[in-house]
Amino acid sequence: MRLRRIARWRALALVCLVQAPLAQAVPSFGEVRQDFSSSETRVLSREGELLQRVRTDSTVRRGDWVALGDVSAALRTAMLLSEDKRFYEHAGVDWAAVTSAAWGNLWNQRTRGASTISMQLAGLLDGDWRRSSGGRSVVQKVGQTVAAQVLDRRWQKTQILEAYLNLVPFRGELVGIDALSRTLFDKAPHGLDDREAAVAAALVRAPNARAVQVGQRACGVLKEMRRDPKVDCEAVVFFTEVALKKRAFDASEGIAPHFSRIALREARQATSSGTANKPPAAASLRTTLSAPLQRFAVDSLDQHLQALRSSNVQDGAVLVLDNASGEVLAWVGSSGALSQAQAVDAVLAPRQPGSTLKPFLYGQAIAEHKLTAASLIEDSPARIPTASGLYIPQNYDRSFKGWVSVRTALGASLNVPAVRTLVMVGVDDFFDQLVRLGMPMRESGSYFGYSLALGSPDIPLVQLTNAYRALANGGRYSPVAYTRGGKPAFRQAMDAGAAYVVGDMLADTNARVRTFGMDSVLGTRSWAAVKTGTSKDMRDNWAVGWSDRYTVGVWVGNASGEAMHSVSGTSGAAPVWASIMAFLHQGQPSRAPKPPADLRAQWVDFGPAPAGQSGAGFALEARREEWFLAGTAQPRFALDGQATGVDEMVGGRSVAGRSADSTSSAAPPAVRILAPANGTIVAVDPDIPPDRQRLQFVADSASARWRIDGKDVARGARWAWLPWPGRHQVELVNAQGEVLDSIRLEVRGAGVKHSKR
């Protein structure tokens, strides 16, 4: 027996000698604190404010490191009562508890474990001493015991308890008191009361036990804490069952969820490619976003969408870019709780941009010397032959303005002049221009045809806004910057002079009057250029523009693609755009840019309006100073000859209809239908609300009577018809009912719905 005892002590001594070097390798408190990492990355603003928490470690759930002073006294008490009552008395190992456990094992009695908090922490710090499913071996137990005593000598008791609370597993993936308290109790660790603390302490002993068992143990801890044996255990068990079902600590929480994912992805790519100056910290990432601006953009969009709920609008997006650097200053990807698709990032979602493509079209025409800002272009009914029929563009307000300048055509967002301009420029050339400005065009120019002028392709808000930023930078394009500190790589995508003229036109309040009126929300206190747009069937509404320092893009609509109800360019996205632009310049007004050296300013006069147009005989537009590219200036813009009727655009030419004074000396001309042409195929225009589009019928006699599908419908030289799908026969008859002329036409697409009043 004595030899056996000596052999055991020798084996124990040998184990101690082997484990001593491992125990001496116990890290310091500072090293443990520094190596700790949250399972979430804190996405910070450029000012250092917290914008978003994003979970980046799916294997475990850890919150922030919590100092012992920020842990409630109730939790500290519960943990010591449950795990180590003599924590402040022993030197890492509770030998009295070891002795008690040994006697219990000898007599097959169930006793409390002898593992102290220091010993448990040693196991958490080094996996070699961690308990496995089969328990610890003798070697592991000895190593853990030695390491616990080393910890107690080198660390302060408060440091041991603090590290333990931050590293101990509680339940499932939850590790550390911050993750536990925020997940199960939806509060910070300093706010835990005695009942919550008792549940937390009970979970340490049996992390994955059934809720009833955890509750019963928590009740025992609570009795010790309160020194009251009459604690209602049924209430504690019920409270525990409810708490263990909670998941209040969201995987991502904050005001920039969509941009945070992009920023983290860009940071990882920059780090892996070696382009970043310094890898981002595991716990935080400072981004380009401005916290005050992001909060204002979120609130502004939310408030406006609340006001538009009766118009069937639930989604929206906002993007703000710094003109000089291209850095993202605000990124609101959805309307949050108002949306049924919160996870969809509407800043990246391709949508039809409507009239917001017109500035690039006119800019190209000006750059190619095909137009100037003062050039006259006709806003009148037009039919354009295409492979599938006649394309007949119409205006938003279903009326035509006659001859107008390019400045007015763009400012008032007239559709027909834009299509005429596209005929001059060429569909494929304009398509290439959009590609140079960074827009992702998936098809070819011929695929879209002349509807390209009215915004038929799908383009995300981020690329559209950045293309406007190119206009703000004198036609120079550079990609959007998602990280700070980089130098933008500009390339010339549009003539600088043309870009300046386009900006000058979009900033001209007078140019918008014919469509938007004098008191439009688009009028800002300081200089800004802006364009609105509406897509087919009112599914999308846009407002994009820039000041001297910022470019702002706003989209509203429905992620589902459902149409809005009677939302115009100035009632949809424009109010949000205007409020954000005002916020950006509340302390520093925007100043108009300086014109390029090759631009020339000159006063111009306009000739008289032709007969039949509003204001006939008076100047088409008021005398004004206008900007011209070199070699394009002229002092007067007038019509050499006036024509009436309907133009047919053929091969880039405008073929005028019948002249106003064209009469026959032999016999009165036959009364005929001037528009639309026989065989016309009519489709819904991409930029016109369904309840506002009408097809214009024109005859060369004021006494004509109109009949459609055998039914009398109107009288006079002009008639505006609300189209309905199907094939129709239109007849022009005299007072006796005799048919003077007739045509057949087809209307394709959904029926026109009347607005609900």
710-733: per-residue pLDDT in tens?
A: 888 888 888 888 878 888 999 988
Is residue 548 very low, low, confident or very high in pLDDT (cuts 50, 70, 90)? Answer: very high
State the Cα–Cα distance between residues 87 and 452, nearest whole angstrom.
Answer: 76
User: Which pTM value belongs to this model?
Assistant: 0.73
Question: Per DSSP, what are the bridge partners of residue 742?
Answer: 731
Q: How far is CA 106 from CA 65, 96, 109, 187, 281, in A?
A: 41, 15, 8, 45, 52
State the Cα–Cα distance between residues 258 and 51, nearest whole angstrom.
Answer: 11
Q: With beta carbons less than 8 A apart as the criterion, state whether 367 and 495 touch.
A: yes
Is residue 374 very low, low, confident or very high in pLDDT (cuts 50, 70, 90)? Answer: very high
What sign results for the dihedral spanned by CA atoms 691, 693, 696, 697? Answer: negative
Structure tokens at 581: 């632009």
State the Cα–Cα distance between residues 357 and 535, nearest whole angstrom.
Answer: 11
Is residue 355 very low, low, confident or very high in pLDDT (cuts 50, 70, 90)? Answer: very high
State the Cα–Cα distance between residues 316 and 541, nearest whole angstrom.
Answer: 9
pLDDT of residue 60 exceeding 80:
yes
36-54: per-residue pLDDT in tens?
A: 988 888 899 999 999 988 8
Structure tokens at 668: 């009165």
- Sheet with 599-606, side-by-side order of all strands: 624-629, 599-606, 636-637
State the Cα–Cα distance between residues 178 and 328, nearest whole angstrom.
Answer: 32
Determine which of 392-406, 608-622, 639-653, 654-668 has the lowest per-residue pLDDT on average. 654-668
pLDDT of residue 550: 98
Q: Is cis: bond before 350, omega within 30 of 0?
A: no
Extended strands (E) in 270-381: 284-286, 315-322, 328-332, 376-379
Best CA proximity match to 407, nearest among 285, 289, 515, 322:
515
pLDDT of residue 396: 57
610-636: per-residue pLDDT in tens?
A: 877 777 778 889 999 999 999 999 999
DSSP-H helix ranges across 36-93: 73-83
566-611: per-residue pLDDT in tens?
A: 887 788 999 999 999 999 999 899 999 999 999 999 999 999 988 7
Long-range contacts of 225-234 (CB under 8 A, 24+ apart): 225/74, 225/77, 225/78, 225/81, 225/194, 225/197, 225/198, 226/194
DSSP-H helix ranges across 406-495: 406-411, 415-425, 427-436, 445-448, 461-472
Q: With beta carbons less than 8 A apart as the criterion, state whether 197 and 208 touch.
A: no
State the Cα–Cα distance between residues 457 and 240, nearest whole angstrom.
Answer: 56
Q: With beta carbons less than 8 A apart as the criterion, state whether 609 and 620 touch.
A: yes
pLDDT of residue 2: 52
Structure tokens at 752: 């026109």
pLDDT of residue 383: 62
Best CA proximity match to 318, nearest among 542, 564, 549:
542
pLDDT of residue 519 exceeding 80:
no
pLDDT of residue 717: 83
**For residues 488-500, b (16+ Cβ closer than 10 Å) or e, as one string?**
beeeebbbbbbbb
pLDDT of residue 3 exceeding 70:
no
pLDDT of residue 14 exceeding 60:
no
300 or 147, which is more confident?
Answer: 300
- Sheet with 169-171, side-by-side order of all strands: 61-62, 174-175, 169-171
pLDDT of residue 642 exceeding 70:
no
Best CA proximity match to 173, nearest among 322, 289, 55:
55
321-352: per-residue pLDDT in tens?
A: 999 999 999 999 998 888 888 889 999 999 99
pLDDT of residue 525: 87
Q: With beta carbons less than 8 A apart as the criterion, state whether 732 and 671 touch.
A: yes
Q: With beta carbons less than 8 A apart as the criterion, state whether 44 and 284 touch.
A: yes
62-92: per-residue pLDDT in tens?
A: 888 999 999 999 999 999 998 888 888 888 7
Q: With beta carbons less than 8 A apart as the criterion, state whether 505 and 374 touch.
A: no
Best CA proximity match to 195, nearest among 168, 165, 226, 174:
226
Q: How far is CA 670 from CA 321, 700, 706, in A?
A: 61, 9, 16
646 or 565, which is more confident?
Answer: 565
Q: Give the DSSP H or E segment for 605.
A: strand 599-606
Q: Provide mean pLDDT across the span 428-455.
A: 88
pLDDT of residue 753: 43
**Burial class of residue 104 in the structure, from the number of CB atoms within 10 Å of its CB (0-12 exposed, 13-18 middle, 19+ buried):** middle
pLDDT of residue 650: 37
206 or 364, which is more confident?
Answer: 364
Q: How far is CA 671 from CA 73, 663, 716, 731, 738, in A?
A: 98, 12, 12, 11, 12
State the Cα–Cα distance between residues 574 and 590, nearest whole angstrom.
Answer: 18
Contacts of 594 (CB under 8 A, 6+ apart): none
State the Cα–Cα distance between residues 626 and 477, nearest whole angstrom.
Answer: 26
pLDDT of residue 225 exceeding 80:
yes
pLDDT of residue 547 exceeding 70:
yes
What sign results for the dihedral spanned by CA atoms 228, 232, 237, 240? Answer: negative
Q: With beta carbons less than 8 A apart as the criterion, state whether 510 and 412 touch.
A: no
pLDDT of residue 157: 92
State the Cα–Cα distance between residues 395 and 390, nearest whole angstrom.
Answer: 16
Q: What share of the chain is helix, strand, coil (3-state, %, to 5)?
A: 40, 20, 40
The one-character DSSP state at 616 is B
Question: Per DSSP, what are the bridge partners of residue 556?
Answer: 316, 541
pLDDT of residue 756: 41
Q: Provide mean pLDDT across the span 433-458.
A: 88
Kindly report the three-state secondary structure assignment for every residue of 724-744.
Answer: CCEEEEEEEECCCCCEEEEEE
DSSP string, 418-429: HHHHHHHH-HHH
Is residue 652 very low, low, confident or very high in pLDDT (cuts 50, 70, 90)? Answer: very low
Residue with tokens 């917001």: 356
Structure tokens at 229: 């044996």
pLDDT of residue 632: 94
Best CA proximity match to 204, nearest among 223, 190, 186, 217:
217
pLDDT of residue 395: 59
Q: What percent of the chain has pLDDT over 70?
A: 80
pLDDT of residue 691: 59
231-286: per-residue pLDDT in tens?
A: 899 999 999 999 998 877 766 678 999 999 999 988 877 766 555 544 444 578 99
pLDDT of residue 11 exceeding 80:
no
Q: Going by DSSP bridges, is the β-strand pair 695-699/711-715 parallel, antiparallel, or unpaired?
A: unpaired
Cα–chain-centroid distance for residue 432? 26
Best CA proximity match to 550, nearest among 525, 527, 570:
527
Mean pLDDT for the chain overall: 82
